[in-house]
Amino acid sequence: MSLNLDLEHTATPPARGDYGIGVVGAGFVVRDLHLVAYRKAGFRVLAITDVDASRAREVARLRGVPRVCTGVDELLEDSEIEVVDIAVPPDQQPSVVRRILERPRRVRAILAQKPLALTLEEARRLVEECDSAGVVLAVNQNMRWDPSIRALRTLLARGWLGEPVLATIEMRAPRRYADWKRRTDRLTLPVMSIHHLDAFRFLFGEPESLFASARRDPRADFPHTDGIVLYVLEYASGLRAAALDDVYAGPVLEGAAADNFVRWRAEGTEGMARGTIGWPAWPNVVPSTLDFTLRSQPGVWFSPRWKEAWFPDAFAGTMGELLDALTMGRTPSISGRDNLRTMSLVEACYRSLAERRSVRVADVASDLFA
């Protein structure tokens, strides 16, 4: 059996990549991920704005953005800007989206950060408002463009692993908390776990139900519902997809030796794959990895390798998907409406935590799963 080891681990460039892009927000994610990936992909960023004007000026200088604006309104006055990339805290994002929609000259599309909002109902309202305004809304679920996750999806699509049996993600990555994170009791599920919940959807489709368990993060010295989180997605086929999102990871920020990583594993009836994702090593760029073994090739591990990593390369994938959707007149795979299904998993996790039971996803958002 000859195996094609081109596992399509990178995104196909958009049919057209020269749309004018304006950026709202100039924090770390924009400075070191979005703008780095966009420049590498050849995307055309025209302007940036931030509540901290000096930070916006510094990021513009560092990343070659030609114009710094005093606010969203000034940014939208540029008729060349057709797409707005929003990268602000989730409690502030809805107001930025609505400010864009209120403008007489609306842009064609918005790429919003995840979570789109901190609750499913607020996210639903934003999706409906964008639909009514005729503005294409996409959500930056960038783990879908991690090279190892895309390669795993190719293995699954080709049937090499057979029927999926068990999938797991284990994240050990300590966090510090400041600013907006202290203004909400929703801490880990909508910010960290949302990557893994969406990746499971991307790989395996929609689960029927889920069970979640959580405890507070001892490092977070403020009230919160979810710190360290574990959850299991239950599929009609029998597949179970489980994740451990450990944002404490031991007292490593207080001086203990670190053991930080993200690892995943997928087992099927015909094969098994495992992988690593290197973002916990940031600012070092560590490429993602994948290894797999098949019943048809007894005793052999296949280990394709590449130079791309989640940070920063995946961020060209999400923007590229939106730009290609605009060009081709189609709905982006990461549309706001699709993202409501990911948000419904977040909401189901909170219901499971509150009620200490397995929760049917359709009971949380029945209209999405009718």
pLDDT at 255: 97
Arithmetic mean of pLDDT, 341-367: 96
pLDDT at 24: 98
Instruction: Calculate what percentage of the chain has a pLDDT beyond 70.
Output: 99
pLDDT at 106: 82
pLDDT at 209: 98
Between CA 260 and CA 148, with CA 290 as vertex, the angle to 5 degrees is 80
Arithmetic mean of pLDDT, 44-64: 98
pLDDT at 101: 96
pLDDT tens track for 227-273: 999 999 999 999 999 999 999 999 999 999 999 999 999 999 999 99
Q: How many CB atoms lie within 10 A of CB 7?
A: 23
Contacts of 204 (CB under 8 A, 6+ apart): 156, 164, 167, 235, 239, 241
pLDDT at 1: 56
What the block records as the tokens of 361 is 């996803």
Whole-angstrom Cα distance, residue 197 to residue 262? 14
pLDDT at 370: 63
What the block records as the tokens of 232 is 């299991």
pLDDT tens track for 157-187: 999 999 999 999 999 999 998 788 888 899 9
Q: Is residue 86 over pLDDT 80?
A: yes
Between CA 100 and CA 105, with CA 101 as vertex, the angle to 5 degrees is 80
Q: Is residue 150 over pLDDT 80?
A: yes
The model's confidence at residue 278, banded by pLDDT at 50, 70 and 90, is: very high
344: enclosing H helix or E strand:
helix 336-355
Chain-wide mean pLDDT for the chain?
Answer: 96
Whole-angstrom Cα distance, residue 284 to residue 280? 9
Arithmetic mean of pLDDT, 274-278: 97
Closest CA to 47 of 27, 28, 29, 64: 64
Arithmetic mean of pLDDT, 333-350: 98
User: Does residue 168 contact residue 269 with C-beta atoms inside 8 Å?
Assistant: no
Q: Is residue 104 over pLDDT 90?
A: no
**Percent composition of the chain: helix, strand, coil (DSSP 3-state, to 5):** 35, 20, 40
For the sheet with 289-294, list strands across it: 289-294, 271-277, 261-268, 164-172, 240-246, 228-234, 209-215, 359-360
Contacts of 253 (CB under 8 A, 6+ apart): 174, 176, 219
Q: Is residue 366 over pLDDT 90?
A: no
Ordered structural domains, the chain, with CATH: 20-139 (3.40.50.720), 145-303+341-363 (3.30.360.10)
Arithmetic mean of pLDDT, 54-79: 97
pLDDT at 99: 96
Closest CA to 87 of 178, 24, 21, 179: 24
228-234 vs 240-246, strand pairing mode: antiparallel
